[in-house]
Amino acid sequence: MSTDEAGSDRHSEQTTVLPETAAQLVELERLQQALTESEERAKSHWEQYLRAVADLDNIRKRAAKDIEAANRYGLEKFAQELLPVRDSLELAVQNAEKAADIRSLKQGQDATLQLLVKALEKLGIVTINPQGEPFDPARHEAMLAQPSNTAEPNSVLQVIQPGYELNGRLLRPARVIVSKAP
Write the pLDDT tens digit of every residue in 87-138: 888 888 887 777 777 887 888 888 889 988 998 888 889 999 999 999 999 9
Ramachandran area for residue 101 (φ above 0: left; ψ -120 to 50: alpha; else beta): beta
pLDDT at residue number 12: 55
Asked if residue 103 and residue 142 are part of one domain, the reply reads: no
Asked if residue 181 and residue 161 are part of one domain, the reply reads: yes
Q: Is the pLDDT of residue 1 over 50?
A: no
Establish if 84 belongs to a structural domain.
yes
Nearest to 159 by CA among 141, 139, 175, 138: 175
**Tens digits of residue pLDDT in 9-42:** 555 566 666 767 888 888 999 999 999 999 999 9
Establish if 53 belongs to a structural domain.
yes
d(CA 177, CA 180): 10
Asked if residue 112 and residue 93 are part of one domain, the reply reads: yes
Asked if residue 100 and residue 47 are part of one domain, the reply reads: no
pLDDT at residue number 42: 96
Establish if 152 belongs to a structural domain.
yes
Asked if residue 180 and residue 130 are part of one domain, the reply reads: yes
CATH number where 135 lies: 2.30.22.10
Asked if residue 43 and residue 89 are part of one domain, the reply reads: no
d(CA 148, CA 179): 6
**C-beta of residue 162 within 8 angstroms of C-beta of residue 127:** yes
Asked if residue 140 and residue 178 are part of one domain, the reply reads: yes
- For residue 43, give its domain range: 19-71
> DSSP secondary structure string, 18-63?
-HHHHHHHHHHHHHHHHHHHHHHHHHHHHHHHHHHHHHHHHHHHHH
d(CA 145, CA 31): 85
Q: How far is C-alpha 139 from the geometric centre of its chain's CA atoms? A: 24
pLDDT at residue number 169: 92
The three-class DSSP label of residue 134 is: strand
Look up the pTM and report it: 0.57
Establish if 178 belongs to a structural domain.
yes
Establish if 3 belongs to a structural domain.
no
